[in-house]
Amino acid sequence: LVSRENHPDRSVVRVGGVPIGPGTMTLIAGPCAVETPEQTLQAARMAQAAGATLLRGGAFKPRTSPYAFQGLGEKGLRILADVRAETGMPIVTEVVDAHDVELVASYADMLQVGTRNMQNFALLQAVGGVGKPVMLKRGMNATIEEWLMAAEYVAQRGNLDIVLCERGIRTFEKATRNTLDISAVPVAQRLSHLPVIVDPSHSGGRRDLVLPLTRAAIAVGADGVIIDVHPNPESALCDGPQALVDDDVRELAQTVRDLPPIV
Ligand code: PEP
- Residue 188: per-residue pLDDT: 98
Q: What is the mean pLDDT of residues 51-69?
A: 95
Residue 263 has pLDDT above 70, yes or no: no
Q: How far apart are CA 227 and CA 56, in angstroms?
A: 8
Closest C-alpha to ligand 1, atom 9 = 115
Q: Specify the ligand 1 atom closest to the Cα of 61.
A: 5
Using alpha carbons, select from 44, 39, 64 the residue that is nearest to residue 56: 44
Residue 142 has pLDDT above 90, yes or no: yes
Q: What are phi and psi of 19, to 5 degrees?
A: -80, 145
The finding on whether 120 has its CB within 6 A of some atom of ligand 1 is no
pLDDT band at 262 (very low <50, low <70, confident <90, very high): confident
Q: How far apart are CA 246 and CA 140, in angstroms?
A: 29
Q: How far apart are CA 218 and CA 67, in angstroms?
A: 37
- Residue 167: per-residue pLDDT: 98
Q: How far apart are CA 225 and CA 252, in angstroms?
A: 10
Using alpha carbons, select from 134, 92, 220 the residue that is nearest to residue 200: 220
Provide CB contacts within 8 A for 117, sequence distance 6+: 62, 96, 123
pLDDT tens figures, 6-36: 899 999 999 999 999 998 999 999 999 999 9
Torsion of CA 7, 188, 104, 100, to 10 degrees: 100
The finding on whether 132 has its CB within 6 A of some atom of ligand 1 is no
Full-model pTM:
0.97
pLDDT tens figures, 198-224: 999 999 999 999 999 999 999 999 999
Q: What is the mean pLDDT of residues 98-107?
A: 98
Closest C-alpha to ligand 1, atom 4 = 114
ipTM surpassing 0.95: yes
Using alpha carbons, select from 20, 37, 26 the residue that is nearest to residue 77: 37
What average pLDDT does the chain have?
96
Beta strands 18-20 and 13-15, pairing class: antiparallel
Q: What is the mean pLDDT of residues 43-69?
A: 95
pLDDT band at 246 (very low <50, low <70, confident <90, very high): confident
Tell me if 27 sits within 8 A of 218, measured CB to CB.
no
The finding on whether 137 has its CB within 6 A of some atom of ligand 1 is yes
CA–centroid distance, 236 to ligand 1, in Å, is 15
Residue 67's alpha-carbon distances to 31, 34, 63, 74, 258, in angstroms, are 20, 17, 8, 19, 42
Q: Specify the ligand 1 atom closest to the Cα of 203.
A: 9
Q: Specify the ligand 1 atom closest to the Cα of 137.
A: 9
The finding on whether 138 has its CB within 6 A of some atom of ligand 1 is no
- Residue 121: per-residue pLDDT: 98
Q: What is the mean pLDDT of residues 175-200?
A: 98
